[in-house]
Structure formats: C-alpha cells, structure tokens
Amino acid sequence: MATIPQIRTRLLEVFPERQADVLAHVVVESHDDLVTQADLHKLTGVVSDLASVVTDLAESQKELAEAQKRTEDRVEELAEAQRGTELAVADLAKQVGGLANSLGGAA
C-alpha cells in the first residue's frame, strides 16, 4: 500500500492541494478498514471448526438422550420388579402368619 505522501503526490496532479490531502487520507483509512483475503480465509476456517464442534455436540446430545431413555426404561423395570417383590413378601408374610397360627394352635 502506498503511503499518504505518495498518494497525495499523485492526486496533486489532478486535484487542488486540500482535496488531494483529504482524498489521500480517505484512501489509506479505507484500505486499512478492508477485510483482507487472509482474514476471510481465517474466518472461514473458524466457521468450519465451529460447525464441526456443533455437529459433534449434537451427536453427543443425541447419545445422552438415548442413554437417558434406556436408564428410565430400566428404572421402570426395576420399579415393577420391586412391586412384585413387595407382593411376594406380603404373601410370604401371610403364609408365615398362617403357619405360626397353625403351629401355635396345635401346641
């Protein structure tokens, strides 16, 4: 990029001094504000990396949701088994009570 004095010198060929000064500064400031090809390439890489991370996170979230569903299903199975165990224990308690009554009454 040319310097302000270099640009000013070229502009003085066709513009008055005041206009050449202002235009030279505007050109340099505008150039400094431009996004370079390298900046754009870096940004493209960052966006690509972020997209990959988001994809990985979505997959992990899906796997966690599936694992949670399996856990919930297993907890329900265990709850059902617990209810069955409670009924069996209650039935066993009745049988033991009946047996105790039978033995106690015979003694």
Q: Full-prediction pTM beyond 0.85? A: no
| Tens of pLDDT, residues 8-53 | 999 999 999 999 999 999 999 988 888 788 889 999 999 999 999 9
Helix H, strand E, coil C: the string for the chain is: CCCHHHHHHHHCCCCCHHHHHHHHHHHHHHHHHCCCHHHHHHHHHHHHHHHHHHHHHHHHHHHHHHHHHHHHHHHHHHHHHHHHHHHHHHHHHHHHHHHHHHHHHHC
Domain boundaries, the chain: 1-33, 62-107
Task: State the helix-helix crossing angle for 4-11 and 17-33, rounded to 10 degrees.
Answer: 140
